[in-house]
Structure 1
Amino acid sequence: MHTDLVAALDIGGTKIAGALVDGDGTILARAQRPTPAREDGDTVMRAVGEVLGVLTGSPLWEGVHAVGIGSAGPVDASAGTVSPVNVPGWRAYPLVDRVREVTGNLPVELIGDGVAIAAAEHWQGAARGHDNALCMVVSTGVGGGLILGGRLHPGPTGNAGHIGHISVDLDGDPCPCGARGCVERIASGPHIARRALENGWLPGPDGDASAAAVAAAAHAGDPVALASFERAAQALAAGIAATATLVEIDIAVIGGGVGNAGEILFAPLRRALRDYATLSFVQRLTVTPAQTGTDAGLVGAAAAALARGTAAGV
């Protein structure tokens, strides 16, 4: 019999993943469905219900005492609602109430997907042993979450640490969020690729114009591709340094597709950080790749559910 068993949901624009996770962070059962992101809200919820149906059908289900949800945002944990930018059918959608209906009124903990990554990295990954950390996802968007004083710091609505929408260029491009020059507008995968194309980078014969293709070109020494990653690294450094100056983190952990680019990103990022993180109390700030991989959202959602009870400190 597993103690401290929780259910976890990781909800994004591409897939809805679910798992049963024990107090050690071991995934004991899992389920997944594609997100019907272009459909109406109830259709999306049906996919969530199918994932939960697999989990509730498990013989382990009777030991589950809470549900953790990490969702693409914005989320509002205080209202129990989600409004993922990339799932237009969900606007102020009462996800917590719907999940409680399906799971027999279990307690539900809702956090943003960036906060979930932070919970996972602090519990199982690169931020283990650090009391003050920023953990980031750099992929199609840029999100993040904070560990402060040894605890997850989701903030009142579950969105704290959303570094993608710190403005680092006052005269920069307009961002869909309404501001200008946001970190996400410069450092996300699609914007790395867009900038490389605008500056003359040409995709190979296969026509792949993704950020991964730009990263491959940068690894091969293409100067335009390298410059696009350097610009992204500069934006990330400015955002990370601002965060460190505000709340005194000592490590920034970076995951997501762009984070997987390796030294093409991390070498210029560390250089730029020396230019931005100049005050004595932020000079020892380190930057490192994430370790929890594709299950980070599930592990982090489970960590939040475990922390809610008395079961396990996160």
Structure 2
Amino acid sequence: MTDHLVAALDIGGTKIAGALADDGGSLLVRAQRPTPAEGDAESVMGAVDAVLTELASSPLWPGVGALGIGSAGPVDAAAGTVSPVNVPAWRGFPLVERAGAAVGGLPVVLVGDGVAMTAAEHRLGAARGHDNALCLVVSTGVGGGLVLGGKLHAGPTGNAGHIGHISVDLDGDLCPCGARGCVERLASGPNIARRAVDGGWRPAPGEDATAAAVAAAARAGDPVAIASYERAAQALAAGIAATATLTEIDIAVIGGGVAGAGDVLFAPLRRSLRAYATLSFVRRLTVAPALMGNDAGLVGAAVAAAAVAAGGRSGALRAKAAR
């Protein structure tokens, strides 16, 4: 890691978070704005600019050597563009170029949010010490990243491990990505809530229909809420088992807001995993909750930026200076 500070952005369908981080991964200064996900491209970029402007107002800013961005995907790290499924206005959006201009030409490195979370969990969290791991972000969407042979494996465009868009229900609902029956369509927070509402569950008066509210109802014994989480767990288990069969991972780490449901999610997930991970070389696969919490995306983006600031290169972690 470099001795210089780095800036980091975590861009999702709900919020755009930013931070300045030191060489130990500590987040020293924070900024955040809601994502105007239904707005036009410039509205979303305006929120990014607002976060970067707030960070740049810190007296620590002159020590920043690079900017790391973890974005909801898919991303194209080689081209510097993003097309988040949950942000319709951004399709092939030149985020690296635009963010680089906003930070005065500092090097910018782009990774998918799942890859960012994986970098954080492998360096400091639940995947630490594991040479082969899958890390998942289960929140507004479902993302993921891989560690293979002890190294972060981002793939040529930065999307390797994007488990949310593996199809696990061939005749399932149409996903915003264009495919059917994706893990994300079954296991993301909004879809857990949607399925519970469709089944007749209703939140308490004055409460929104969220995955957290469904989890609370499931803990209280509501059968519709329980069934919605069991279906989400089944989808995640099928995707994880398929990934393990292909890559021989030995741990799946799950973070994001939906993981906050605890045993409401993890108990049926472990049961379903035993039903799907049946081959001898994947039966020892374990599932663990992420340890880095809501900071995983920022810490992972900072790890990527620090590697660039130090002159490192790894897979799809390619830096581009704004031109």
TM-score, normalised on structure 1? 0.92
Query: Residue in 1 aligned with 2:288?
Result: 288
Query: Residue in 2 aligned with 1:49?
Result: 49
Specify every segment of 5 or more residues in structure 1 that has no aligned partner in the other structure, as ranges: none
Q: Secondary structure at the match of 1:281?
A: coil
| TM-fit CA distance, 1:96 | 0.8
Runs of 4+ in 1 over 6 A off after TM superposition: 311-314
Q: Secondary structure at the match of 1:240?
A: helix
**2: CA distance, partners of 1:199 / 1:226:** 11
Query: Residue in 2 aligned with 1:275?
Result: 275
Q: 1:169 to 1:80 in 2, by over 3 A?
A: same
Do structure 1's residue 115 and structure 2's residue 84 form an aligned pair? no
Q: Match for 1:97: what amino acid?
A: E
Query: Residue in 2 aligned with 1:3?
Result: 3
Residues 255-266 of structure 1: matches in 2 within 5 Å?
Answer: 255-266=255-266
Do structure 1's residue 173 and structure 2's residue 173 form an aligned pair? yes
Query: Residue in 2 aligned with 1:135?
Result: 135
| TM-fit CA distance, 1:311 | 7.1
Query: Residue in 2 aligned with 1:93?
Result: 93
Q: Match for 1:166: what amino acid?
A: I
Q: 1:63 to 1:270 in 2, by over 3 A?
A: same
Q: Contact 1:3–1:63 at 8 Å: present in 2 too? A: no
Query: Residue in 1 aligned with 2:318?
Result: none
Residues 77-226 of structure 1: matches in 2 within 5 Å?
Answer: 77-206=77-206, 208-226=208-226
Count of residues paired in the alignment: 313
Q: Contact 1:23–1:312 at 8 Å: present in 2 too? A: no
| TM-fit CA distance, 1:138 | 1.2
The RMSD of aligned alpha carbons is 2.1
**2: CA distance, partners of 1:234 / 1:166:** 13
Bigger mean CA offset, 203-212 vs 295-304: 203-212
Q: Deviations over 1:133-164 (max 9, x none)?
A: 11111122111111112222111111111111
**2: CA distance, partners of 1:14 / 1:229:** 21
Query: Residue in 1 aligned with 2:236?
Result: 236
Q: Deviations over 1:206-228 (max 9, x none)?
A: 45432222211111122222122
Q: Match for 2:270: what amino acid?
A: R
Q: Match for 1:160: what amino acid?
A: A
**1: CA distance, partners of 2:197 / 2:37:** 28
Q: 1:52 to 1:190 in 2, by over 3 A?
A: closer
Q: Match for 2:3: what amino acid?
A: T
| TM-fit CA distance, 1:62 | 2.6
Q: Contact 1:3–1:22 at 8 Å: present in 2 too? A: yes
| TM-fit CA distance, 1:310 | 4.1
Do structure 1's residue 250 and structure 2's residue 275 form an aligned pair? no
| Percent identity (aligned) | 74
Q: 1:151 to 1:4 in 2, by over 3 A?
A: farther
Bigger mean CA offset, 207-216 vs 121-130: 207-216
Q: Contact 1:74–1:159 at 8 Å: present in 2 too? A: yes
